Structure 1
């Protein structure tokens, strides 16, 4: 079946193998496809001059989505109070309830093992942010077990929970620090009766201060406005806190409250919960750093706004990578573009957003540091679904192109300004070679002189393609607008979190 394409909104819907079987259904699909194409031509449009002025930078390019009337307050609340915040609320509230019960002296375990409760929470917090644990103990087994066959509501729930597992990270981290406060306060309250030496009291305070620095550096405002401060303090104060926790665990275990003397007994130490929690935290933190490698890269700059970084060997769909000029400092996470593990290369698209990314263009390095252990991201969960749509703006293509290239049941919608000039021929060659024209839409707002009616386009493709879910990679405002629109129209959708 031949389908005419609009001149600049290239690609429309479906390969022939994916079309409905009956002639009636085929006719309906053809009608929908033409409606999608027509919608890109008939939407109200500003002048070309206004469009070019509005989208002359990479940041503006990410604003290439049409604006809509704000949805209901309830819809906006549901998008805002996402599973991340739900996970945080549950984890933190349970800890606070437990601490209140412990303060009433009705929970003897908490009185005697407050340090174990604190370290148990911190262990959960580290695990929920650890590349190794998440990829091999959360993402991979759940996707392998439940992909495609299980009920859609269950797959949607799992996707929301796994993607937003960072809420447990934040909730347990805050809960663990609260338990450390409880522990230190209790230690001071009973230090006379227990003959607690000053070194134990002092080290408890030091550990508490360092851990609070880690938490302060990770607050959303600091992450958003002072990312380098967040990274340096969250990482190095985090490493320091692990050392201090070990010292605190060893000191506390070696002091005998009955004799009032220190003793050294490795046999007793390894039997404590605190020892195994501290060991597990250390191992989890250390594993990804053992995979850091200095690798050769080729950097091309198709425009002053974008650097295309080429690495050796192919990568499976759904994985993301961290790169840096230094072995220990300023790692940046990016989506990975690759045609598959059989390919001889993979790519990262770095849009200019700060000094580090700008330096890739003004002073392109020959080598970069990266962790060979890549971490699973939201696109990895695309395997859950029978059909889906990946919609992105600008450099958001870096997170989802591999999904639409490697998975035949995913549709690509890419919206941007002067896209081929901005991003170069590599991406467009990959799209044209690997994705059937019926399975993508490329909308260049500069060529069109306007923004598309994005929600109409998305609704039409969602219905015609029989999609189960939409993955969105836009800027925060665009992501929120599209998610609100999807929820209002009964379409399941997920987008990036900007929480790390």
Structure 2
């Protein structure tokens, strides 16, 4: 909707003529974008920001909602543990295991494909799409996209609560006649959950991804088993008689049982959808593998694929023309041994989870109009948005793009997206980089966009996020936290 001045006599709702005029203005601006000349930087210049953003802007981009939610969830739990250590909180003394498992349940839920897609993304997006105030939709996008901060915060807090529980058990083991098997199993479980948490440290994820995946996943599975054993042992021991007893009804009435059960179900559901599927892989260049799958996929979903049913799953954006189409694609840019193997030794089959998970592009449904901007293989995450949604504008920047990515993507873009809704900029062909911030501002105004979705490398993402914030444009980008 186009804003304009209005007299006191016209303070009522716009007339049909005014609405048609506003719509016509948007269409005219869109058509003008078909002949838009992309501004370019001088040769050799790489940064589109003329000056370094202010310290406040850089801090705002760094201390994003992810870190805010981590700080809040972890700090509140640490305060609660300090209070529990003073012996003034009887509930924590008697139910430390429930507090530990409650935090771990929240951590698992905030990373679970099933829970996030059907209990977070879908209800929040479809109840607030387009009609709610922009500030509320931006808040929802920030919260949903950065919900991993709750995952990290509550996971660390759950380990801290478990440590509190084990220490308290040792402190009171004489008075309560706690048997050695319960004490030993508490230590074993604590060690395993510590390994699970340490393996997910940001530095390890970034520099030793295979170590992270193996230890975080398998130590996490062992943690679930050990937690079950610890819960059953602790519940079956009677401190009055000093003997173990079996009482299923009593166990089922405890909070710990239901938390452990919920964690187990959440972890199991996505793995129950693993399937071995045929694929066709084309390698237009040594830098990219285009993986073709059967079946169309709706916009905004991402998929995980692997050569093994349980090892080395990698998440990618999905490109598809819609659920009615017969195919979808994954663009795998060569970044490590696994993706390099797709080019050098392309398989005929891959394992994938049929339950796809929602990502940042899924939140595009919240907005009336927006821009998706990506570099290189980032096109895999956002191409479907511009293909399937006619209120989104695509900007794709890369080097020697047609030779690198082949004809499949370019044919889809040219065939399904009108010329006034996309810009493709080849830095090798043009001999320089685009002035991305000026281009973004121009398109943002002409397209009447409400938000910018960015998919680039960490440095490019940070630069664009800082530039958008300085210029008053709402923007969101990837987090690299999984």
Normalised TM-score (structure 1): 0.90
- The corresponding residue for 1:101 is 83
- The corresponding residue for 1:470 is 452
Instruction: Find the partner of 1:44 among 42, 45, 52.
Output: 42
Could you say what secondary structure the match of 1:70 adopts? coil
Aligned residues of 1:295 and 1:368 also touching (Cα < 8 A):
yes
Could you say what secondary structure the match of 1:156 adopts? helix
**Cα 1:251/1:374, change in 2 over 3 Å:** same
- What is the distance in 2 between the residues matched to 1:34 and 1:290? 47
- Structure 2 residue 388 is the aligned partner of structure 1 residue 406: yes
Range 19-28 or range 283-292, more displaced: 19-28
- Structure 2 residue 246 is the aligned partner of structure 1 residue 248: no
**Deviations 1:136-168, CA, capped at 9 Å, x for gaps:** 000000011000000100000000000000000
- The corresponding residue for 1:341 is 323
**Deviations 1:207-246, CA, capped at 9 Å, x for gaps:** 0000000000000000000000000000000000000000
Report the alpha carbon displacement of residue 44 of structure 1 after superposing the two structures with TM: 1.9
Q: Alpha carbon RMSD of aligned pairs, Å?
A: 1.8
Could you say what secondary structure the match of 2:37 adopts? helix
Instruction: Find the partner of 2:424 among 442, 454, 459.
Output: 442
- The corresponding residue for 2:107 is 125
- Structure 2 residue 434 is the aligned partner of structure 1 residue 452: yes
- What is the distance in 2 between the residues matched to 1:225 and 1:469? 32
- The corresponding residue for 1:191 is 173
Q: How does 1:223-238 map to 2 (within 5 A)?
A: 223-238=205-220
Instruction: Find the partner of 1:299 among 265, 270, 281.
Output: 281
**Deviations 1:3-30, CA, capped at 9 Å, x for gaps:** xxxxxxxxxxxxxxxx983699579838
Aligned residues of 2:38 and 2:439 also touching (Cα < 8 A):
no
- The corresponding residue for 2:7 is none
**Cα 1:212/1:27, change in 2 over 3 Å:** closer
Q: How does 1:262-273 map to 2 (within 5 A)?
A: 262-273=244-255
Aligned residues of 2:34 and 2:421 also touching (Cα < 8 A):
no
**Deviations 1:355-382, CA, capped at 9 Å, x for gaps:** 1001001000000000000000000000
**Cα 1:354/1:239, change in 2 over 3 Å:** same
**Cα 1:294/1:24, change in 2 over 3 Å:** closer
- Structure 2 residue 317 is the aligned partner of structure 1 residue 323: no
Aligned residues of 2:276 and 2:350 also touching (Cα < 8 A):
yes
- What is the distance in 2 between the residues matched to 1:143 and 1:358? 36
**Cα 1:241/1:23, change in 2 over 3 Å:** closer
Q: 5+ residue gaps in structure 1?
A: 1-18, 52-63
- What is the distance in 2 between the residues matched to 1:423 and 1:251? 57
- The corresponding residue for 1:490 is 472
Could you say what secondary structure the match of 2:293 adopts? strand
**Deviations 1:284-338, CA, capped at 9 Å, x for gaps:** 0000000000000000001111000000010000000000000000000000000
**Deviations 1:252-298, CA, capped at 9 Å, x for gaps:** 00001111111011111000000000000000000000000000000
Could you say what secondary structure the match of 1:21 adopts? helix
- Structure 2 residue 406 is the aligned partner of structure 1 residue 419: no
Aligned residues of 2:455 and 2:477 also touching (Cα < 8 A):
yes
- What is the distance in 1 between the residues matched to 2:26 and 2:195? 60
**Deviations 1:15-73, CA, capped at 9 Å, x for gaps:** xxxx9836995798389749951524xx4223xxxx9xxxxxxxxxxxx7645422000
Aligned residues of 1:36 and 1:461 also touching (Cα < 8 A):
no
Q: How does 1:54-203 map to 2 (within 5 A)?
A: 66=48, 68-203=50-185
- The corresponding residue for 2:12 is none
- The corresponding residue for 2:443 is 461
Q: How does 1:208-227 map to 2 (within 5 A)?
A: 208-227=190-209
- The corresponding residue for 1:9 is none
**Cα 1:24/1:122, change in 2 over 3 Å:** closer
**Cα 1:23/1:398, change in 2 over 3 Å:** closer
**Cα 1:369/1:26, change in 2 over 3 Å:** closer
Aligned residues of 1:20 and 1:26 also touching (Cα < 8 A):
no
- What is the distance in 2 between the residues matched to 1:214 and 1:23? 54
Instruction: Find the partner of 1:308 among 286, 290, 293.
Output: 290
- What is the distance in 2 between the residues matched to 1:386 and 1:144? 13
Could you say what secondary structure the match of 1:195 adopts? coil
Aligned residues of 2:107 and 2:150 also touching (Cα < 8 A):
yes
Could you say what secondary structure the match of 1:37 adopts? coil
Could you say what secondary structure the match of 1:427 adopts? helix
- Structure 2 residue 267 is the aligned partner of structure 1 residue 285: yes
Report the alpha carbon displacement of residue 91 of structure 1 after superposing the two structures with TM: 0.4
Could you say what secondary structure the match of 1:381 adopts? helix
- What is the distance in 1 between the residues matched to 2:188 and 2:470? 50
